[in-house]
Amino acid sequence: MDIDNLAREVTRQLEFYSNFVQEEVEAVAKEVSTDVAKRLKQTSPERTGKYATGWKVKKSKGSYTVHNATAPQLTHLLENGHMNRDGSRTAPVVHIKPVELDGNREFEEKLIRRIEQ
Protein backbone atom coordinates (compact mmCIF):
# COMPACT_ATOMS: atom_id res chain seq x y z
CA MET A 1 0.00 0.00 0.00
CA ASP A 2 1.54 3.27 -1.03
CA ILE A 3 1.13 6.62 0.69
CA ASP A 4 -1.52 7.89 -1.77
CA ASN A 5 -3.80 4.93 -1.11
CA LEU A 6 -3.33 5.33 2.63
CA ALA A 7 -4.20 9.03 2.46
CA ARG A 8 -7.32 8.28 0.39
CA GLU A 9 -8.44 5.59 2.83
CA VAL A 10 -7.90 7.84 5.86
CA THR A 11 -9.83 10.65 4.13
CA ARG A 12 -12.65 8.26 3.24
CA GLN A 13 -12.91 6.97 6.81
CA LEU A 14 -12.90 10.49 8.26
CA GLU A 15 -15.67 11.56 5.88
CA PHE A 16 -17.69 8.47 6.83
CA TYR A 17 -17.28 9.24 10.55
CA SER A 18 -18.12 12.92 10.00
CA ASN A 19 -21.35 11.99 8.18
CA PHE A 20 -22.22 9.50 10.92
CA VAL A 21 -21.72 12.12 13.65
CA GLN A 22 -23.78 14.71 11.72
CA GLU A 23 -26.67 12.29 11.37
CA GLU A 24 -26.53 11.40 15.06
CA VAL A 25 -26.42 15.07 16.10
CA GLU A 26 -29.50 15.83 14.00
CA ALA A 27 -31.41 12.79 15.29
CA VAL A 28 -30.62 13.55 18.93
CA ALA A 29 -31.40 17.26 18.46
CA LYS A 30 -34.82 16.43 17.00
CA GLU A 31 -35.57 13.98 19.80
CA VAL A 32 -34.46 16.29 22.62
CA SER A 33 -36.15 19.40 21.21
CA THR A 34 -39.44 17.49 20.96
CA ASP A 35 -39.06 16.39 24.59
CA VAL A 36 -38.24 19.96 25.66
CA ALA A 37 -41.38 21.29 23.95
CA LYS A 38 -43.49 18.65 25.71
CA ARG A 39 -41.98 19.52 29.10
CA LEU A 40 -42.54 23.24 28.51
CA LYS A 41 -46.20 22.53 27.74
CA GLN A 42 -46.47 20.83 31.13
CA THR A 43 -44.51 23.37 33.19
CA SER A 44 -45.73 26.62 31.65
CA PRO A 45 -48.05 28.82 33.68
CA GLU A 46 -51.67 28.60 32.61
CA ARG A 47 -54.23 31.34 32.74
CA THR A 48 -56.18 30.63 29.58
CA GLY A 49 -54.06 27.70 28.36
CA LYS A 50 -53.03 29.28 25.06
CA TYR A 51 -49.49 30.07 26.22
CA ALA A 52 -48.84 26.56 27.52
CA THR A 53 -50.10 24.86 24.36
CA GLY A 54 -48.14 27.18 22.07
CA TRP A 55 -44.73 25.49 22.39
CA LYS A 56 -43.55 24.23 19.00
CA VAL A 57 -40.34 22.89 17.45
CA LYS A 58 -39.06 24.60 14.31
CA LYS A 59 -36.29 23.21 12.10
CA SER A 60 -34.09 25.67 10.26
CA LYS A 61 -30.76 25.01 8.54
CA GLY A 62 -30.03 21.80 10.42
CA SER A 63 -30.88 23.14 13.87
CA TYR A 64 -34.00 22.86 15.97
CA THR A 65 -35.56 25.77 17.85
CA VAL A 66 -38.21 25.47 20.53
CA HIS A 67 -40.44 28.55 20.54
CA ASN A 68 -43.86 29.67 21.62
CA ALA A 69 -45.96 30.21 18.51
CA THR A 70 -49.09 31.59 20.17
CA ALA A 71 -47.61 34.18 22.55
CA PRO A 72 -43.91 34.72 21.89
CA GLN A 73 -43.92 38.12 23.59
CA LEU A 74 -44.88 36.54 26.91
CA THR A 75 -41.85 34.25 27.24
CA HIS A 76 -39.46 37.01 28.30
CA LEU A 77 -42.03 38.81 30.45
CA LEU A 78 -43.03 35.68 32.36
CA GLU A 79 -39.51 34.27 32.72
CA ASN A 80 -37.94 37.53 33.98
CA GLY A 81 -40.85 39.48 35.43
CA HIS A 82 -41.71 43.00 34.29
CA MET A 83 -42.70 46.48 35.44
CA ASN A 84 -46.39 47.19 35.96
CA ARG A 85 -48.15 50.46 35.17
CA ASP A 86 -48.19 51.48 38.82
CA GLY A 87 -44.41 51.07 39.14
CA SER A 88 -44.43 47.72 40.92
CA ARG A 89 -42.81 44.63 39.47
CA THR A 90 -44.33 41.24 38.81
CA ALA A 91 -42.56 38.22 40.18
CA PRO A 92 -40.78 36.11 37.57
CA VAL A 93 -42.24 32.70 36.76
CA VAL A 94 -39.10 30.75 35.92
CA HIS A 95 -40.24 27.87 33.73
CA ILE A 96 -38.00 27.96 30.63
CA LYS A 97 -34.49 28.00 32.13
CA PRO A 98 -34.73 24.72 34.11
CA VAL A 99 -36.13 22.87 31.10
CA GLU A 100 -33.44 24.41 28.87
CA LEU A 101 -30.65 23.28 31.20
CA ASP A 102 -32.11 19.76 31.43
CA GLY A 103 -32.43 19.65 27.63
CA ASN A 104 -28.81 20.71 27.14
CA ARG A 105 -27.59 18.07 29.60
CA GLU A 106 -29.82 15.42 28.02
CA PHE A 107 -28.58 16.33 24.52
CA GLU A 108 -24.94 15.90 25.56
CA GLU A 109 -25.54 12.60 27.35
CA LYS A 110 -27.62 11.06 24.54
CA LEU A 111 -25.19 12.19 21.86
CA ILE A 112 -22.18 10.78 23.69
CA ARG A 113 -24.01 7.47 24.28
CA ARG A 114 -25.03 7.16 20.63
CA ILE A 115 -21.63 8.04 19.21
CA GLU A 116 -19.75 5.69 21.54
CA GLN A 117 -21.87 2.65 20.59
**Domains held by the chain: number:** 1
Tens of pLDDT, residue by residue over 50-81, are: 999 999 999 998 899 999 999 999 999 999 99
Domain range enclosing 105 = 3-116
pTM of the model: 0.86
What is the 3 state secondary structure string of 40-107?
Answer: HHHHCCCCCCHHHHCEEEEEECCEEEEEECCCHHHHHHHHHCCECCCCCECCCCCCCHHHHHHHHHHH
β-strand 55-60 against 63-68: which pairing, if any? antiparallel
For the stretch 99-115, pLDDT in tens is: 999 999 999 999 999 99
